[in-house]
Every structure is written in C-alpha cells, then in structure tokens.
Structure 1
Amino acid sequence: MLDWLRLIRASGLATIASNCAAMVLFAFYTGPGLDVKWFGRLLTADPARIGWLLLASALLYAAGMAWNDLADVERDRHIHPKRPLPSGRLHLPSAMVAAALMGVGAVVAALLAEGPLGALAALTVLTLALVYNFEAKHIPWLGSLTMAATRAAHACFALLIIGPDALRAALVAEDPVGVRWLLAYPLILFLYTWGLTVVSELEHRPGRRWEVLAGGLLMALAVALALGQFVGAPWQRAWLLAGGPWPLALAASLLVVLGAAGWLVWTVGRPWLATLLHASRAEAGRTLVSGLGGMILLDVIIAGTAHPLGGVLLLGLYPLFRLVGASIRMD
C-alpha cells in the first residue's frame, strides 16, 4: 500500500488541497466585491456535487503523478532503482491500469458534478499533465512552462466548487476587471511553479547557474506579488471603514502571513542558494521538496489576503505535508 502512495506522491495532495482552498477563498473575498450569490450557493450546495469535484481534483493529481513515473520508468531503472516501479514492487501493467482508471475517473467525477463543462475542465488539466510527462519535460524550459500551466489550470478547475459561472467569470467574463482579479492567484501560482520546476529540472539534466538564478527570481516574484495582494486587501479596507476589530485582526493576519513568507524564504532559499553556489544536483532535488511545501506557505499568504482567518485555515496543511512526506518518502 505504501508503494501505491509513493507512486502518486500522496504528500502532494496537501498542495492540491491548499491550491484549491486558496483559489476559492480568493474568488470569494478578493477583488471588486463579494458576490453574495456565489457564497450563498456554496453554503447550500449539494454535498455530493462538492464531493465529486474534490474527488476529481485528487484523481487528476494522482493520475498525473502515476503517469509521470510510468513515463520515466526506464530512466529510473538507472538513477532511482529503489522506486516502486523500477524495483518491481509494483508491476508495470497494474500501475498503467491504475493510472488510466484514475484519469478516466477524474473526468467522470467532474462530469457528474458539472456536466460537460466540468469534464472539459478536468480533461484540460489531465491533458496538460500528460503532455508534460511524455513530451514537454524533456525540453528545457518548455517542461517547466507546461507544469506551471498545469498547476494554474488545476487552480482554475477549483472555481467549479463555487459554480460554473465562477469559472466562466475567470476565463470568458465580459468584465475585464473581473477577469484580472480572479486570474491573479493562478498567475502567481504559475510563476512560482515555473520557477520551482526550472530549478528542479537541473537534478536530471545539465544546466547553467543563470537558470538556477532565473528560477529563484520567478519564485521570489511570485512571493512578492502575493504579499502585494495582502497590502490593502479588501477585508482591511472594509473593516477600517466599518470600524471592525481592525488592529487585532491586522496584527494576527500579519503574524501569520509574514511568518509564512519568512519560513518560505528560509526553507526554500537555503537549498536554492546551495544549488546556485555549488551547481549541486542533489540540492536541486531538495529545492523541489522544500518548494512544494513552500507552495502551501504561498497559499497561506493568498488566503490571508482573502480573509484574516484564511491563512490560519491553510497553515495546518504544511505540517501534514511534511509528516506524510517523511512517512512515505520516495527512494
């Protein structure tokens, strides 16, 4: 059982949960104003519909991870022989069937939740993941761009939790302002994932220091943009005008958001700097692991932008990610 969890990188499900939660919170509480219809619909939503969408999201991630190892099985026989597939602990045909079922299951679950639009959204995410696994990741920079697009598309898929009109508002809205604010978080996630993947690619291919530097700058830009969203967030302006518990709320939110930002910079920055200074492939791999945890911390910043308690809600996913990752660590 542990090898199946290793195959799908089960610890990474915490990053998907944080991405989806950050997207929903961001859509509710950030931008020109809160759309009461969306919030009311979520409160009265059919639990089965939400359940299907959450299942689809988890299966999309799991299928992408499984196909990633299936695509790399021959390479892993030489550089990672202890992993579940090259070691023979999991049989290749069984893994292929499981990966296919997870991919199909994700599309079917999305179809049951939101009809053709849900299926199309899930199929888009799955297609991007497969393109990355089998083609794009072998091409420098194109692979990192494709992975970034996959994460951003998955975040947009989470808008279906609110309703199909939320996804349409982000992608095909007539109001350009609405488009800009809804897509701000997927853009930040895109930049962070792009930079992280650029650095992590150097674990398995020759690279130059300027690529490590560029990847770090992309991640730093994403963090800066997230913090920029926090400055003057709508809830801060609203509470200031309404005379709410402004000083206490701001202080608590600042503590969570700045703490998350500081820990992100520390935990991701150290292996990144070692990769830059020593051109170490091992440190590039450590940057990836730390960077995935850092993605949750980035989402804490975004959630704190949306609501003063938002960051607190997501912060618990970080130790969960670390604990599960340590328990079922990939060889």
Structure 2
Amino acid sequence: MSARDWAALLRVSAVFSVPGDALVGATATGGPPRARTALAAAASLCLYEAGMTLNDWADRRIDAVERPDRPIPAGRISPAAALGASVALTAAGLGFAAAAGRPALRTASALAASVWAYDLWLKNTPAGPAAMASARTLDVLLGAAATRPAEMARALPAAGVLGAHTLAVTTVSREEVEGGSSLAPLTALATTAAVAGHLTGLRPPRTATEATAAGGAALYATTCGRGYTHAVLNPSPPLLQRAVGGGIRAMIPLQASLAARAGAVTTALPLLALLPLARRVSRKVSPT
C-alpha cells in the first residue's frame, strides 16, 4: 500500500475543492473566519476523504469490472484497510467538529450521515445527485455553524449555490463510465451560466470587491464550461470524465467568488491560488 495508491484512493486532487466550503460559510455570516473555522475546514476535509474511501469500498465489485485499475480491485489496497480508513476519518471529522462547538458537531453529524447514506445506499438511485448536493450544502453550513452559529441562516444562499453546482456535476458523473446523452452536460452548462449570472448580477463591476467576485465567476464559468461544452457535442466517457474533473475544480473559483460577494476579498484571493495547484495535481491523480 504505497502513498501513491492512497493518493489515488483519496483522490487528493479533489481535496483542493473542500476547504473553501467552510470559508464561504464563515464569510457568509458577516465577518472574517475565526479559529473555529479552521476546525470546521479540518472536519470537512476528513469527512470528504471518508466519503472517497467509503465510495471505493462500496463500489469494489463494480469497479472490478468498470475500473479494474482502481486501488481496491487492483489489489493494491485491501477492502478492510479502505473501510477502516473511512471509519477513522469519519471519527476524526466529528472530533474536529466537536472542538468547534455543539452547533458545528450537529451539522457535521448530519453531513457524515449524508456521506455514508450516499455511498452505501443512494448513489445509484434517482436520489443520488440530490444527496451529494445536500452534502456539499451541509459542508458550507458547517463553516457557518462553527464560526457564528447565530447567523447560520445567512449562509443558506451561498450553500444553495454550491449545492446547485454539485447537483449538476454529480448528474454528469453518473454517465462518465459508459457515456450517455447530451442532456446532462447541457443542463450542467445551463446551471453554470445561471450561477455565473447570479454571482455577477449581470452588470459591470464597480468596486474592487465586485471585480474580484466577477473574476472568480468568470474563472468558474470557463473552468467547467469548456468541459461541459465538449461533452454536449460528444458525450463519450473520456469527455464526460474531463467535464466532471473540470466541474470539481470549478468549485474553487466559485467559492472565491462567493467569499468576495460577502466582502471577504482577503479570503477569496488565497482560494483562487488553489486552482493551479489542483490542476497540477489532477494531471497525476484523477479527481474522479
């Protein structure tokens, strides 16, 4: 069990899309992130990776046919080790959340339940995309609950935006192995346009804050829009997989734009710096 095998199992290139959730939730409550925001980010990272390992454990028999090169079916990581890692990461995530306070622990518990329910029961049902979207929505709310629990409701619009994007990406991902129709990527492309329009207000930026939000929105649209467009024209497995990868990375500029819209430019700019790192790592470790 090499580090490279664990990196593939954990899909480390997708991890860059996670910390921004807590920061978006924190800034949406009306103030800068706090020390407890970092605990929420650590909790979400652990729960995200718990979901990744549990996903491959639950899909090990399917992957033996469809993706035999994945670490578990290839025999490079045992099913027991993967399941054990899922349990340990879930416990660690809840531990970090508990340190951030009871509201954060309650939210993280709901998030952990949604992650396990998705991987074990809901993923291959019609409810799968919605379940994944709810997990990302809860991840944003976790940052709000840890930072300013009394203002948690103010984070609902931003959480809904990230949830809508996740719903679109997950719907496309359901066809990435066998290919499909153009409908899913076309719907995702329309969702991207709607989200980008919402972020910019469809008007030229007037302040530095608005310019940062608009720049993040433009980068978001190009990061995932190009892949969706290619998949619409040719919904083959390679192009659908590329579209899903772009959709995952696009969460980073989307988070940056949402943080900027909340007035937190100093939070948005470091988030944008994660995008080139995510691209570089994704060339070595696939995010899907």
The TM-score with structure 2 as length reference comes to: 0.88
**Counterpart-to-counterpart distance in 2, 1:149 and 1:121:** 12
Look up the match of 1:162. Answer: 147
**Counterpart-to-counterpart distance in 1, 2:179 and 2:124:** 12
**Counterpart-to-counterpart distance in 2, 1:261 and 1:293:** 13
CA 1:190–1:52 in structure 2 vs 1: closer, same or farther (change >3 Å)?
closer
Aligned pair partner of 1:59 in 46, 49, 70: 46
What root-mean-square deviation, in Å, do the aligned CA atoms of Structure 1 and Structure 2 show? 2.5
Give per-residue Cα distances to partners, 1:136-192, cap 9 Å, x unaligned: 22124x21111111100110011133133233xx1xxxxxxxxxx431101111111
**Counterpart-to-counterpart distance in 2, 1:20 and 1:136:** 25
**Counterpart-to-counterpart distance in 2, 1:21 and 1:9:** 21
Matches within 5 A, 1:1-331: 1-28=3-30, 47=35, 49=36, 52-115=39-102, 117-140=103-126, 142-167=127-152, 170=153, 181-204=154-177, 207-228=180-201, 250=207, 252-253=208-209, 255-307=211-263, 308-329=265-286
Q: How far does residue 263 in structure 1 lie from its aligned partner after superposition?
A: 3.1
**Counterpart-to-counterpart distance in 1, 2:118 and 2:55:** 8
Give per-residue Cα distances to partners, 1:219-257, cap 9 Å, x unaligned: 3222222223x969xxx9xxxxxxxxxx7xx2x445543
**Counterpart-to-counterpart distance in 1, 2:250 and 2:287:** 19
TM superposition outliers: structure 1 runs of 4+ over 6 Å = none
Look up the match of 1:244. Answer: none
**Counterpart-to-counterpart distance in 2, 1:305 and 1:92:** 43
CA 1:275–1:51 in structure 2 vs 1: closer, same or farther (change >3 Å)?
closer
Q: How far does residue 57 in structure 1 lie from its aligned partner after superposition?
A: 1.8
CA 1:52–1:278 in structure 2 vs 1: closer, same or farther (change >3 Å)?
closer
Whether the 8 Å CA contact 2:199–2:213 is kept in 1: the answer is no
Give per-residue Cα distances to partners, 1:50-74, cap 9 Å, x unaligned: 5543332211111011111111111
Gaps of at least 5 residues in structure 1 are 30-38, 171-180, 237-246
Whether the 8 Å CA contact 1:62–1:102 is kept in 2: the answer is yes
Gaps of at least 5 residues in structure 2 are none
Q: How far does residue 281 in structure 1 lie from its aligned partner after superposition?
A: 2.0
CA 1:329–1:303 in structure 2 vs 1: closer, same or farther (change >3 Å)?
same
| Counterpart secondary structure, 1:138 | coil
**Counterpart-to-counterpart distance in 1, 2:255 and 2:101:** 26
**Counterpart-to-counterpart distance in 2, 1:213 and 1:263:** 19
CA 1:216–1:51 in structure 2 vs 1: closer, same or farther (change >3 Å)?
closer
Give the total of aligned pairs. 285
Q: Aligned AA for 1:265?
A: A
| Counterpart secondary structure, 2:74 | coil
The TM-score with structure 1 as length reference comes to: 0.78
Whether the 8 Å CA contact 2:110–2:138 is kept in 1: the answer is yes
Whether the 8 Å CA contact 2:141–2:155 is kept in 1: the answer is no
| Counterpart secondary structure, 1:85 | coil
Give per-residue Cα distances to partners, 1:266-318, cap 9 Å, x unaligned: 33222212211222122111111011111111112112212244432321111
Which of structures 1 and 2 has the bigger CA Rg?
Answer: 1
